[in-house]
Amino acid sequence: MVYKELLESVSFSEIEPWLYKMYPSLKSSMGWMKVHYDMLRMIGSKSHTNADNGEITIALDEEDGETFLTAYSLEGEVWECALAKEIVIDKKVKASLPEIAACCLWHSSFYGFTPETEEECFRDMFGYDSCKELEYNRELIQKFGGVVPSFNQLPSNVKEKLREMATDEVFISKGNRSKHKQAFRKKLMRLHYERMVVISNFIISFLSFRTLKETDISIKDLCDMFFSTAFKTSIIPSYSFDEPDIDYLCNIIGQYNMIPQMSRLILLVVLNKDSRTLDEKQKERLEGLLSCYNTKYCKILFIQNKSLKRQAAIYYAAFDL
């Protein structure tokens, strides 16, 4: 049995209890794990020859006196190639198929649940020029009449939060005051640039697919997000086999609370078709999803991206001002 066949043989409802039991830290990410499971079942597999002979070995490992299940040669593997690998179970393992599937899902999602989250993980691991990227975004936003504030123009509570984060991450001996201040300032500005890049990327997503004249949200409204005291954004894609993509997204987001509760929320619904083709029931589902969040301000906007083929995605921004 290869990895893809394993996932096709057990439902997520069978796997989910084992994920909670084996990996308690996944509790807040269970919705993402469901998306990962659905994605793997939908994408194709691709065989290749490498040092592990195309096998995933399920074995028992031990750390700090605790024995646990592990899946060798799966973590970090290209998903299409992982799906074609044969599952080989060590003789000492007495686990059920749902338990083995839970172990495999944990390892295959280690660096990300979707292509988007995997890319974010690798950017964080290997670094990127956030200062240069912010300058590029700044120029683009300015062309549309927007303003990207400098660090000194941010609210004092936002700057203080960034300073606290920088302090926690800088470990220089107290005796070397000069190096400590230099490292602190460098880390502080890096955190600032990274925060501004995340927010500006969301703003630019509006500019990439349609003009703001087609919406009732202004570039100033969007740029207000730079002054938010808390900001969270992510792209949640649909990997639906037998239900409409909007229903899939509303169900999984609602069931697993995948969007954090904040005072303001913008949903950018990405479709492969004109939003006018959505039936009233689907529009009501989206409105119902928003009603679950006690927000002071909420907005649903639609953009078209034909590269999605039959899929859809929700790109959200939740923030406090």
Domain map of the chain by residue range? 1-121, 127-212, 227-320
Decide: helix, strand or coil at residue 185. helix
Cα-based angle 281, 33, 19 (whole degrees, multiple of 5):
125
Mean pLDDT of 52-81: 86
Considering the entire predicted model, what is its pTM? Answer: 0.87
pLDDT, one tens digit per residue, over 72-104 is 888 888 899 999 999 999 999 899 999 999 999
Contact predicate 305/270, CB 8 Å: yes
Name the DSSP letter for residue 311. Answer: -
What is the dihedral angle through the alpha carbons of 68, 15, 233, 109, rounded to the nearest 10 degrees? 50
Query: What pLDDT does 136 receive?
Result: 93
DSSP state string for 121-142: HHHHHH---HHHHHHHHHHHHH
Mean pLDDT of 62-70: 85
Query: What pLDDT does 140 receive?
Result: 93
Who wins on pLDDT, 156 or 274?
156
Residue 16 pLDDT > 60, yes or no? yes
Q: 189: which 2 tokens?
A: 């500005």
Query: What pLDDT does 319 receive?
Result: 95
Question: Under the phi-then-psi rule, with left for phi > 0, alpha for psi from -120 to 50, and beta for the rest, what region is 76?
Answer: left
Residue 114 pLDDT > 90, yes or no? yes
| CATH class as words, domain 227-320 | alpha beta
Helix H or strand E segment including 104:
helix 97-108
Beta-strand runs (E) in the chain: 55-63, 66-72, 86-89, 230-237, 264-271, 297-304, 313-320
Determine how many CB atoms are found less than 10 A away from the CB of residue 88: 15
Residue 41 pLDDT > 90, yes or no? yes
Mean pLDDT of 171-197: 80
Residues 6+ apart with CB under 8 A from 134: 148, 193, 196, 197, 200
